[in-house]
Structure 1
Amino acid sequence: MRTKISIRGARMHNLKNISLDLPRDKFIVFTGLSGSGKSSLAFDTLYAEGQRRYVESLSTYARQFLGQMDKPEVDSLEGLSPAVSIEQRTTNRNPRSTVGTSTEIYDYLRLLYARLGTSHCPRCGSKIAAQSVQEMTSAVMNYPAGSKVVLLAPVIEAQKGEHLGVLNRLRQTGFVRVRVDGALYSLDQEIKLAKTKKHSIAAVVDRLIIKDTIKRRLSASITTALELSDGLLLINFPDSGAEILLSERAACLQCGISLPDLSPQLFSFNNPKGACSECGGLGIRQFFDPELIVPNPALSLVRGGVGPWKDIAADSYAGELVRALAEHYNFKLTTPFGKLPAKVQEAIINGTGSEVISFTYRRRRRLISSARPYPGLLKQLERRYKETSSMSVRQSLEQYLNIRPCPACKGARLNPGALAVTFNNYNIFELTEMSIERLQAWMAEIEIRGQNEKIAAPIIKEIRERLNFLTGVGLGYISLARAASSLSGGEFQRIRLASQIGASLMGVLYILDEPSIGLHQRDNQRLIKTLIRLRDQGNTVIVVEHDADTILAADHVLDIGPGAGVHGGEIIYNGPTSGLFAKEDSLTGGYLSGRLIIPLPESRRRPGRGKRITIKEARANNLKNITAHFPLGLMTCVTGVSGSGKSTLVMETLYKGAVNILNGARQAAGEGRISGLRHIDKIINIDQSPIGRTPRSNPATYTGVLSPIRELLARLPEARARGYKAGRFSFNIKGGRCEACQGDGLLKIAMHFLPDVYVTCESCRGSRYNPETLDILYRGKSIADILTMNVEEALEFFKNIPPIKNRLQTLYDVGLTYISLGQSSTTLSGGEAQRIKLARELSKRGTGSTLYILDEPTTGLHPADIQHLLNVLHRLTDAGNTVVVIEHNLDVIKTADQIIDLGPEGGDEGGEIIAGGTPEEVAAEARSYTGRFLKQIL
């Protein structure tokens, strides 16, 4: 049996023909500077080859449904196991996917409720059980003697059609009468039903008068009715007109409500049996929001105060309608919307009711007169959105749409029948709303006795194990009902990790990308134990990681470097973790051993008197009505365990609330009152979202450095002689780009039953430009040559051109020396995208009154890269700006001017400010988990 993975001649991206052996069935960490080549070896070589070999072993038919991976640039790879990649990408954007469905815990809960749930009437709440023929007979016999009773078998319930086949079958079976839509008919007569309308049909099985001698006949008639109507019986009392619906399955006698049999499908919001009929199981409804329709009430109708009327022509239907409304209600079109009378605002948004609005408008050179009540913008937009088949129209209308919980199910996704079933006094939605830690505790206390214990034991065992796995990876604060699309990349990765542990596979190569992202130091040890458990199941676990605790816990470390990009791709150290400390040329070893450190600031900035942003009564999500202060001109770190409320306070309350106040926006901000923004002129959220959604976007276009480069080339004598302008050097427009590939550099070849293949364009050979454009050279380099340069090379090349050099310098300062200017934005990590955004902000002329917000900017960063990041953040702060950072990394936290520490725990047990002040003051707070770890390094 092989004991090692042998890699020979790996050359993917910046890897320099490296050869190495890695031990199998061990916990291995790949570390090194950002851009050094860790992911190139882990994902683009090991995982890609493992996946490629698996796919190639399948039939041609099966391969058409799987993505085909190119063979990585490596001479040989031996000892490779089937590979599973767990990356930091929230790949599941399906609105129907939740944490419960992703982990399969919800499937076991559905089974538990189907087997041991107790049905209740959705209307009155009384317990419901299925009724036998004997119970139904007794129920009818309990009515007073002499009561008239008609037994009906419902065969059609609210279905469109003529239903001739149903009526003919009833005649052939021997039935004489039938009730259609509440009216009695003889089956001897011809019954014509409208094909386009819904109808209800019930066969009259028997007509009786209650007395002791009818019991046998009643029982036989009930049996006939149940067989005919699939278990339903409708009892009609002609004297009073009352009716009762009984069911062989389950029904409430008092309310006449019948419930379906308990089955796992009933509790699935992805199945019509269980899904809410209003929202289809999504739990949310889209609606046109008046606040989005009127984004800025300070503007008048003619200045765009009402969004859908912003660009209307004066003689169009909408233009004439607006004028007619103004005349009818006697208001000026120049009056701000917010100052119009309430009646006028109501008429514009919700309609004029019975009041008729008369006007004439032009359509296709014809004048058309209209005199009718105006339905209002909301109804007009709803009708247009529903009826249009144009994608562009739908997209233009979607800017006015908002989302709210479904009014029918209140966000529970299930129909009333499913929500009326309980287990130990909770319905299934109430369980999924609990935090995983609380659900875990609830499941541990369940006691089931008797026959039900045998049914429940294996189901509850599976649920408990999966809940344990989730808490083990630090996700105890989230709930099973949480949408998968709302998870961060780190959270989604840890859910997949928990699922893999539950799968109990052996002999697998697991490759993970920074699983510690988003985790507080307190939760790190639990994650490490989970990784070790995965190894102990007989697997090889490779983790790309910078976290010191994870590196120290590993069996084996591979350090790649020494630098990033062209300066990386070499093996600095490959061996047991203990040997890394003594490696003098290893940056990682230097930081782990203490030879290298990120120093504490010589002095901390102090808050100015009264100059601060204050949030009062913050109580969105789990925040407990807190008051938080963010001093102006300082760098403030918001810390706390996962799920403690950091993102709710900073992103939902501070950022969105401040944007609403400063920019007049109407984002759905978290509840809380914000003051102190008078000293802030703009607010910028530097997040990790991509800098562009297409491969055409790149660092050069995003930072704006491409513009002065194109202008420089256009000023060259040869370009001027040919009449070339700066636009000639753009690959996005006709003129200078290669038209064969339209500036992509690649051509897509459809392979029919095989995956599409992308090949280099033969006309431009991947350069994106036509030959005439490439003839223009600056110091021997064409525009295509310049875009292939990395930042470090370009900075040296353009060192004498200040407009270009200054922008490149900012990319250099944030540690992105290794990325190429023309690198597609889709290949950049979240951390790289965030630093490019930082670089763009640095290149702008600052006002010194900007509020910068960053959410975990150290994602994907080596300690040496974190030093670059801190230099930039403190540079922004020294310029008078205010920086607010959500962070778990202690090196960032210890250099902050102020800290706001939330907790004490995650989820329902969080949302309080545990400590605040300087790092030294927080370190002295015994209740603060962050303070305990800070105390060790200050």
Structure 2
Amino acid sequence: MAATKKPEVTTKTHIIVKGARVHNLKNIDVAIPQKKLTVITGLSGSGKSSLAFDTLFAEGQRRYVESLSSYARQFLGKLEKPDVDHIYGISPAIAIEQKVNTVNKRSTVGTSTEIYDYLKLLFARIGKTYSPVSGEIVKRDTLNDVVNWLNKNENGTKTFLITTIYFEDRKPAKQLELLKQQGFTRLWLNNKVERIDKIDLKDLDKEKLDVLIDRFAIDKSDTDNLSRIYDSVETAFFEGKGICTVIADSNDKLITKNFSNKFELDGIEFHEPNVHFFSFNNPIGACKTCDGYGSVIGIDEDLVMPNKSLSVYEDAIVCWKGEKMQAWKDDFIMQSTKFDFPIHKPIYDLTPKQYRLLWEGNKYFKGLNEFFKMVEGESYKIQYRVMLSRYRGKTTCSDCKGTRLRKDANYVKIDNHTITDLVLMPISKLNNYFNSLKKALNKEDTEIANRLLIELSSRVGFLNNVGLGYLTLNRLSSTLSGGESQRINLATSLGSSLVGSMYVLDEPSIGLHSKDTEQLIGVLKTLRDIGNTVLIVEHDEDIIKAADEIIDLGPEAGHLGGELVFQGSYQELVKSDASLTANYFSGKEKIEVPQTRRKWNKYIEILGARENNLKGVDVKFPLHTLSVITGVSGSGKSSLVKNCLLPSLKKMFDGYNEQSGSIDKISGDIKSITGVEFINQNPIGKSSRSNPVTYVKAYDEIRSLFSSQKLAKARGLKPSHFSFNVDGGRCDACKGEGEITVEMQFMSDIHLKCEDCKGARFKNEILEIKFHGKHISNILDLTIDEAILFFEESGDKIADKIVQKLLPLQEVGLGYVHLGQSSSTLSGGEAQRVKLASFLGKRDNNNLLFIFDEPTTGLHFHDIKKLLKAFNALIAIGHSIIVIEHNLDVVKCADWVIDLGPDGGENGGYLLFEGIPEELTKCKGSFTGKYLKEKL
């Protein structure tokens, strides 16, 4: 390390960690500068998360819990103190991890960022309701409106204040008697005032009476007269149930004006805007048809017209096939000349109006909606019930069009936009809308909305800055990737403007193209500049370069890691040769570009992909090669691969009907592959007990090994006694988990070590069975590297089988992971590599197509090298690989690159380039090509 003079380390300027020993940390001391951007880097498994999350964040959370009252603490149990001697100068900690946290079907980008809460408030405060009939603004008349109209008349004008009262079930004589008792003495009859006691009942209207509430002459200077008028108008509104009439006698000409304090217009009574009126999570605002879910069980348009490249004439509408139902199609074709419908045009080329006409029909023919009503009407017959079930599925709610809000919420507008318009607008456009809205509002509305608009602009701006401008506020949270989810949490934290906190982030660059990483760095620096300590676990080169301080852990992973190998600036790191990270930055180590690219002649082709933002692209995916799909965030990579290619192939191989995205056709050499495997970053098991060793089926052999020991046989113990998934040998208190989970209301759940088995997971009599001095719990505590060494040295036949099953895990760079490590503690990238290892271990099926979703997540340069080696090993035994990836080291090693773009959202979805990486650098419109040039 260069010997530059370091600033003095004190608890005011640094967070000081003394003797950290969590997981594989080797008693390290480290000082992290406060209010700075610090990156912790190193190989996967070198101890980065152990230092950042399990030591610093855990201690921050523990101290917060300790600060609560003793009453609150009794419900929390005792939080374990991290295995560390001392930590000084720590601030309240906030962890932003890359987990898609929500399973809530109602949670959207708008609700999870709190932007929708401010939007509801904005529409409730300054939204104007417009009648759908006349387009006029709906508003109540107030007492002031009536008095202001009166004051427009000249002084001395005779004025009559009248209320209409309906008889309801009373007889006229009874009603008049009642009015007299209430103190009313006159009626307005035939345009003049008549006394009630002098009226002939024959002259009365059969339904109603116009009662004179008051009469007066206008005198604008008389304040007593004015207060009397206010009282009278209030009485008139009360007696007339919200409606009153004013008649002014101006020069013997009667001028009549009606006033209503009801919220109505054109004969329709409207709901007055309030916050709940715009909330789809509230019974008041939720769409009445779908209860605020946006979808209902109905007729699925994609099942009715599965192949949208066919025309109506070519039987695109599959329910109009067959002897009987063909009559509907024939009738439609006969009638189509009358309204000029293009029966030979493919469905996807129809205009929205023509497509709607197919469903809704017109005066010449009954549409598909009418057809299915007919089928439902006949559903007492079995064949019709079968037919209905064939076309049923989750469909967009026809009432709210998937926006989840009640219809009349869209009568409320601000600057000619409804709340639905805004939630369906890409965030990048929404940003411009709020900026222009400030100028468009009048003075009164600006005063009311100013604070809300500041919040909305800043929060939407943050989402835009973390590279999520292509999303809409209506997008479901559960459909976001881990990286998107983390960046939304980051933007939300920025929006809440906390100061003096410690933010711990887990690889925020995941899923980001190099173009978007630049914006992200700006956001992280903003978080630092407002006075927070920002601590990032990261491998991305650009973020490491932007850091104020770099902490490099290593030198290797697992038990060979956990040491502080370097701390300093980027300039110092490049000159150092203390670690693998330094060697990759200085160029001593590098990921080599392949000498030759694999040639191919077999491929799978997708024609006319139009899912989400794809613009009808035709793409070839080569087989028996490494193909990489790249492009900026939101350019359509996932839509093409996960929504179009994958479901279409799954349907062919597995036969189950997962809805595939909108494509014309899939063709090519599909028969030359035997199946398709999608390997994403979802956990390897839903249970907290699932772990790498059970996933690769090595635990079955380990249990057999222990049950074959002499003492186990003598006690009659079977392999199942050594399982923590079934009763028998496992600890009864924690059910083989090793820890008890305490669910927290407002914080992350707390995990406490089981007091019965002390975390060993098994009963004592099971732990007495040993193999070469280790019991089953000791074996689960070994890392994969240690376990391979241990079993190899034992020389046992069953142990050799265990080694064979563990070797693929070592090959993909997971040697540092513990055998019994819960799958919930594995990062997305680690889970993905466990799945990859399980396939490397199988040699029986050699023609699979593997689709990987960002496999470099959480990987150091050195691990990427290992991953590429594992990819090459898969291709060597006959498999094909397609990878969705931004990492340029993977892109440069590809045999074939497919680049989508040029931007995200509406401006994406075009095929910019297909070919080898060298040619991509010459592609002008491609951001990937621009950044790849430096790598090649």
8 A Cα contact 2:730 2:736, kept in partner: yes
Identify if the C-alpha distance between structure 1 residues 375 and 82 changes in structure 2 by more than 3 Å, giving closer, same or farther.
same
Local SS of the residue matching 1:854 = strand
Does residue 1:823 correspond to 2:828, yes or no?
no
Aligned position for 1:783: 776
1:812 equivalent in structure 2:
810
- Identity among equivalent pairs (%): 45
Partner of 1:674: 666
**What aligned pairs does 1:296-311 form with structure 2 within 5 A after superposition?**
none
Could you tell me whether the CA contact under 8 Å between 1:902 and 1:914 is conserved in 2? yes
8 A contact 2:609–2:644 mirrored in 1: yes
Partner of 1:97: 107
Match of 1:342 in 2: none
Partner SS state of residue 820, structure 1: coil
Task: Quote the residue 2:248 is aligned against.
Answer: none
With the length of structure 1 as denominator, give the TM-score of the two structures.
Answer: 0.76
| TM superposition shift of 1:78 | 0.9
Residues 683 and 850, structure 1, Cα contact 8 Å, conserved in 2: yes
Structure 2 equivalent of residue 208 of structure 1: 208
The answer to whether residue 109 in structure 2 is matched with residue 109 in structure 1 is no
Q: Does 1:613 align with 2:604?
A: yes
AA of the residue aligned to 2:456: I
Q: What's the CA shift for 1:537?
A: 1.3
Whether 1:684 and 2:677 are equivalent positions in the alignment is yes
1:261 aligns with 272
Relative distance call for 1:641 and 1:805 in structure 2 (3 A) is: same
- Helix, strand or coil for the counterpart of 2:40? strand
Distance in 1 (alpha carbons) for counterparts of 2:74 and 2:377 = 54
- Residue 54 of structure 2 is matched in structure 1 by 44
Distance 1:445 1:400, change over 3 A: same
2:265 matches 1:252: yes
Match of 1:551 in 2: 544
CA distance in 1, matches of 2:501, 2:693: 41
In structure 2, distance between residues paired with 1:173 and 1:281 = 51
How far 1:733 moved relative to its partner? 2.8
Change (3 A) 1:410 1:711: same
CA gap of 1:718–1:908, structure 2 versus 1, over 3 A, is same
- How many angstroms does 1:96 deviate by? 3.0
Q: Distance in 1 between matches of 2:50 and 2:568?
A: 19
1:62 is displaced (CA, Å) by 4.2
Question: Residues 171, 624 of structure 1: CA spacing in aligned structure 2 closer, same or farther, 3 A cutoff?
Answer: farther
Bigger Rg, which one: 2
Spell out the pairing of 1:67-78 with structure 2 (5 A cutoff). 69-78=79-88
Query: How far off its partner does 1:347 sit?
Result: 14
Identify which of 514, 521, 529 aligns with 1:536. 529
Check 1:117–1:876 CA distance in 2 against 1; reply closer, same or farther (3 A cut): same
Moved more, 263-272 or 578-587: 263-272
In structure 2, what residue type is equivalent to 1:540?
T
Aligned counterparts of 1:377 and 1:62: Cα–Cα separation in 2: 57
Q: Which residue of 2 aligns with 1:317?
A: none
**Match of residue 424 from structure 2:** 433
* Contact 1:513 1:544 (C-alpha < 8 Å) held by counterparts: yes
Structure 2: gaps of 5 or more residues: 1-10, 150-162, 169-177, 184-204, 217-229, 246-257, 307-370
| CA 1:788–1:290: 2 relative to 1, 3 Å | farther
Question: Partners of 1:792 and 1:445 in 2: how far apart?
Answer: 60
Aligned to 1:79, which of 82, 89, 95?
89
Does 2:483 align with 1:490? yes
Identify if the C-alpha distance between structure 1 residues 745 and 920 changes in structure 2 by more than 3 Å, giving closer, same or farther: same
**Alignment match of 1:562 (pick from 555, 558, 561):** 555
Write out per-residue CA displacement over residues 612-666 of structure 1, whole angstroms, 9 at most, x where no aligned residue. Answer: 1111110010000111110111111000000001000000111111111221111
Residue 646 in structure 1 maps to residue 637 in structure 2: yes
Q: How does 1:284-433 map to 2 (within 5 A)?
A: 284-286=295-297, 353=379, 376=385, 403-433=394-424
Shift of residue 28, structure 1, vs aligned partner: 0.6
Offset at residue 375 of structure 1 (A):
10
2:286 to 275, 279, 282: 275
Q: Show CA shifts across 1:132-165 (max 9, x none).
A: 5899999xxxxxxxxxx975699xxxxxxxxxxx
Going from structure 1 to structure 2, the CA distance change for 1:576 and 1:206 (only over 3 Å counts) comes to farther
CA distance in 1, matches of 2:856, 2:391: 35
Matches of 1:930 and 1:63, distance apart in 2: 52
User: Which residue number corresponds to residue 14 of structure 2?
Assistant: 4
On the 8 A contact 1:247/1:258 being kept in 2, the answer is no
Q: Distance in 2 between matches of 1:805 and 1:246?
A: 88
Structure 1 residues 76 and 418: CA distance shift in structure 2, 3 A: same
1:710 aligns with 2:703: yes
Aligned partner of 1:523 in structure 2 is 516
Q: Judging changes above 3 Å, is the alpha-carbon distance between structure 1 residues 22 and 250 closer, same or farther for their aligned structure 2 residues?
A: same
2:328 equivalent in structure 1: none
What aligned pairs does 1:823-862 form with structure 2 within 5 A after superposition?
Answer: 823-862=821-860
Match of 2:908 among 903, 910, 928: 910
Tell me which residue corresponds to 1:182: none
**Stretch deviating more after TM superposition (562-571 or 104-113):** 104-113
* Partners of 1:719 and 1:887 in 2: CA distance: 49
CA positional deviation for 1:130: 2.7
Structure 2: which amino acid aligns with 1:49? Answer: E
Q: How far 1:596 sits from its partner (Å)?
A: 1.1
Is this contact kept in 2: 1:351–1:375, CA < 8 A?
no
Q: TM-score, normalised on structure 2?
A: 0.77
Alignment of 1:164-179 (within 5 A): none
Per the TM alignment, residue 281 of structure 1 is displaced from its structure 2 partner at its CA by: 2.6
Could you say which residue in structure 2 is the equivalent of 1:448? 440
Distance 1:496 1:65, change over 3 A: farther
Q: 86, 98, 114: which is aligned to 1:88?
A: 98
| C-alpha distance after superposition, 1:653-696 (max 9, x if no partner) | 11111111221111111111211222221110111111112222
> How many angstroms does 1:493 deviate by?
1.8
Task: Determine if contact 1:680/1:849 at 8 Å carries over to the other structure.
Answer: yes
TM-aligned CA deviation for residue 599 of structure 1: 0.6
| Equivalent in the alignment of 1:19 | 29
The answer to whether the 8 A contact 1:28-1:543 is kept is: yes
Deviation at residue 407 of structure 1 after TM alignment: 2.5
Q: CA deviation at 1:915?
A: 1.0
Corresponding letter in the other structure for 1:441: N
**Distance in 2 separating the partners of 1:598 and 1:767:** 41
Q: Which residue of 2 aligns with 1:626?
A: 617
Tell me which amino acid in the other structure corresponds to 1:858: T
SS at match of 1:913: strand
| More off after superposition, 491-500 vs 717-726 | 717-726
Tell me which of 876, 882, 885 is aligned to 1:884. Answer: 882
Structure 1 residue 126 displacement after superposition: 4.7
Aligned partner of residue 581 in structure 2, secondary structure: helix
Which of 863-872 and 462-471 deviates more?
Answer: 462-471
Taking the aligned partners of 1:736 and 1:54, their CA distance within structure 2 comes to 38
Partner of 2:627: 636
Partner of 1:510: 503
Q: State how far apart, in whole Å, the 2-side matches of 1:125 and 1:640 are.
A: 44
Cα-Cα RMSD: 4.0
CA 1:822/1:268 → structure 2, altered by over 3 Å: closer, same or farther?
same
**CA distance 1:717–1:115, change in 2 (3 Å):** closer
Moved more, 895-904 or 417-426: 417-426
- The 1-side partners of 2:167 and 2:84 are apart by 73
Kept after mapping to 1: 8 A contact 2:566/2:578: no
Alpha-carbon separation, structure 2, partners of 1:109 and 1:567? 52
1:932 equivalent in alignment to 2:926: no
CA contact (8 A) 2:165 2:239 kept: no
Counterpart CA distance in 1 for 2:180 and 2:495 is: 58
1:346 Cα deviation from its structure 2 partner: 10
Deviations 1:742-783 (A, max 9, x none): 433446799999998744353x55433344444443333333
Q: Deviation of residue 107 (structure 1)?
A: 2.9
